[in-house]
């Protein structure tokens, strides 16, 4: 006899607004938020069920899984007719690096030191030059001049790994030092980072989730029922939509930011809303993984 679920499951086809995004990125989000901290692996049936709850079709998921396996982000093993998916070392490294940037705490303890990357790569290393620029942006560096990028963060460990992977150490120099002008530091910051556009993205995020968070918080404080499936869906999209912003936010210290920087408010809402939904969302995922005995 089937055990009665600890909470009612709502209709898996309930209205869910799906942002225009590649299914591969959704699978990465699911692994990063719910699979890595458990066994690190998930049966196809469970993955398809959770993605269906999110409104993603089986066809799209299977196509993405095949592509991610070919690209060595995932690996699969068989148990009869069932397939078990887990992250490869490459996939796990990607999610761990992304997690460190997405959940990096606000940078308040700055020593005033700027960290510089200077490079001059020959034309035959054009691809490596493009990859280096992409990685520098991802680490929060800003382009000061052609071939010179800066950051208030000391990213020496990450940079050393990137330079070794790209095999470009002879073409790059790393420096640290203070800024003495003659221009204002605020002007240099505006030159290196588009804070106006970043502010718009944070405002859009707040406009989308602020009222919803307030309503959910009030229901929680009054001990009203919060549907675990809804909490899983909302927490998933909350995380997925927010995580692209820190990857373009250099996480500058408050002294380099405009007064009342909106990014602090957005980060606080994100952290608090995730925490509020977390217990219910994780309970839902645990129930799904255990319901059919597909925990692996």
Residue the block writes with tokens 């994100």:
270
Domain end: 143, 177, 211, which one? 177
Please indicate, yes or no, whether residues 163 and 218 belong to a single structural domain of this protein: no
Residue 40's pLDDT is 85
pLDDT of residue 1: 28
Q: What is the pLDDT of residue 20?
A: 53
pLDDT tens readout for residues 151-162: 999 999 999 999
Q: What is the Cα–Cα distance from 70 to 89, expressed in whole angstroms?
A: 14
pLDDT at residue 12, rounded to an integer: 42
Task: Answer whether 0.75 is exceeded by the pTM.
Answer: yes
Instruction: Kindly state the average pLDDT of the residues 29-41.
Output: 89
Model confidence at 282, in pLDDT bands (50, 70, 90)? Answer: very high
Question: Is 236 part of a structural domain of the chain?
Answer: yes
Pairwise pLDDT comparison (2 vs 275), residue with the higher score: 275
Q: Residue 48 is inside which H or E element, if any? A: helix 44-53
82-87, strands of its sheet edge to edge: 41-43, 82-87, 74-79
pLDDT in tens, 248-266: 899 999 999 999 999 999 9
Three-state SS across 206-239?
Answer: HHHHHHHHHHHHHHHHCCCCCCHHHHHHHHHHHH
Contact 257, 195 (CB under 8 A): yes
Please report where in the chains the tokens 């307030």 appear, as a residue. 214
Residue 62 forms part of a structural domain: no
pLDDT tier at 14, thresholds 50, 70, 90: very low
In a domain, 69, yes or no: no
Give mean pLDDT, residues 38-45: 88
Q: How far apart are CA 171 and CA 218, in angstroms?
A: 56
Residues 120-131, mean pLDDT to the nearest whole number: 92
Domain final residue, candidates 177, 207, 225: 177
Supply the pLDDT for residue 97: 86
For 119, the domain range is 114-177
In total, the chain counts a number of residues equal to 296
- Judgement on whether residues 167 and 208 belong to the same structural domain of the protein: no
Strand partners, 151: 115
Distance between CA atoms of 201 and 190, rounded to whole angstroms? 17
Q: What is the number of domains present in the chain?
A: 2
pLDDT in tens, 86-110: 999 999 988 998 888 888 888 888 9
174-228 confidence digits (pLDDT tens): 999 999 988 899 999 999 999 999 999 999 999 999 999 999 999 888 888 889 9
Q: Is residue 22 part of a domain?
A: no
CB atoms within 10 A of CB 233: 22
Is the dihedral angle over the CA atoms 164, 166, 168, 172 positive or is it negative?
Answer: negative
On the CB side of 111, CA atoms within 13 Å amount to 7
**Statement to judge: residues 173 and 198 lie in one domain:** no
Verify cis geometry, omega within 30 degrees of 0, for the bond prior to 182: yes
Q: Tell me which H or E stretch contains 151.
A: strand 148-151
Query: Looking at the predicted structure, is the pLDDT value of residue 2 above 50?
Result: no
Contact in structure between 114 and 155 (CB atoms under 8 Å): no
Do both 268 and 198 map to the same domain? yes
Is 145 part of a structural domain of the chain? yes
133: Cβ contacts below 8 Å, ≥ 6 apart = 143, 149
Q: Is the pLDDT of residue 62 over 80?
A: yes
CATH of the domain at 123: 3.30.70.240
Asked, for residue 10, whether it belongs to a domain, the answer is no
**Residue at 276 is within a domain:** yes
Which H/E stretch holds residue 82? strand 82-87
Give the DSSP H/E element, type plus range, for residue 46. Answer: helix 44-53
Are residues 172 and 209 located together in one domain of the fold? no
Answer yes or no: do 213 and 165 share one domain: no
268 and 207 inside one domain: yes
Q: What is the band of 292 on the pLDDT scale with cuts at 50, 70, 90? A: low
Question: Which of the residue ranges 2-11, 42-51, 158-167, 267-276 would you say has the lowest mean pLDDT?
Answer: 2-11
> Region 43-51: what's the mean pLDDT?
93
- Domain presence at residue 91: no
């Amino acid at each position: 006899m089937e055990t009665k679920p600890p909470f009612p499951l709502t209709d898996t086809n309930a209205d869910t607004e799906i942002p225009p995004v590649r299914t591969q990125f959704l699978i990465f989000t699911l692994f990063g938020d719910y699979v890595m901290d458990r066994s690190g692996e998930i049966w196809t049936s469970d993955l398809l069920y959770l993605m269906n709850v999110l409104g993603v079709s089986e066809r799209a998921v299977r196509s993405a899984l095949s592509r991610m396996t070919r690209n060595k982000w995932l690996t699969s093993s068989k148990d009869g007719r069932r397939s078990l998916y887990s992250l490869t070392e490459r996939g796990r490294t990607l999610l761990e690096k992304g997690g460190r940037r997405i959940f990096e705490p606000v940078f308040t303890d700055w020593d005033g030191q700027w960290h510089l990357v200077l490079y001059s790569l020959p034309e035959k290393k054009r691809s490596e030059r493009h990859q280096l620029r992409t990685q520098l942006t991802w680490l929060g560096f800003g382009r000061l001049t052609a071939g010179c990028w800066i950051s208030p963060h000391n990213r020496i460990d990450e940079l050393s790994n990137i330079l070794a992977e790209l095999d470009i150490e002879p073409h790059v120099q790393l420096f640290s030092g203070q800024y003495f002008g003659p221009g204002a530091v605020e002007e240099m910051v505006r030159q290196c980072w588009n804070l106006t556009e970043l502010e718009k993205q944070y405002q859009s995020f707040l406009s989308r989730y602020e009222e919803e968070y307030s309503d959910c918080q009030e229901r929680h404080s009054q001990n009203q029922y919060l549907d675990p499936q809804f909490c899983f869906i909302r927490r998933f999209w909350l995380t997925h939509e927010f995580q692209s912003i820190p990857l373009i936010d250099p996480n500058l210290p408050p002294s380099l930011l405009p007064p009342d920087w909106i990014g602090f408010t957005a980060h606080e809402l994100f952290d608090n809303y995730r925490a509020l939904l977390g217990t219910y969302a994780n309970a839902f995922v645990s129930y799904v993984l255990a319901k059919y005995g597909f925990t692996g």
